[in-house]
Amino acid sequence: MTIQPEGESLRKAVQWISEEKKAGSPKSRQQLIDAACLRFNLTPMEAEYLARSFKEIAK
């Protein structure tokens, strides 16, 4: 089961990070999260969601 975040910007950010990782981006997970926050103009709460989500995935 895939959990979909609320908010179009947040969904696009999750998709973008996933695509960057699949493409073999040399950026760290945190660098990708930071870039997504700027690119998709995410709120601090949305940024925290991304950080938690991708931390869970990495485990």
Tokens coding 59:
């485990």
pLDDT digits (tens, 9 = 90+) for 13-53: 999 999 999 999 999 989 999 999 999 999 999 999 888 88
- Where in the chain are the domains? 8-58
The amino acid present at 26, given as its one-letter code, is P
- Alpha carbons within 13 angstroms on the beta-carbon side of residue 17 total 26
pLDDT digits (tens, 9 = 90+) for 2-15: 455 568 999 999 99
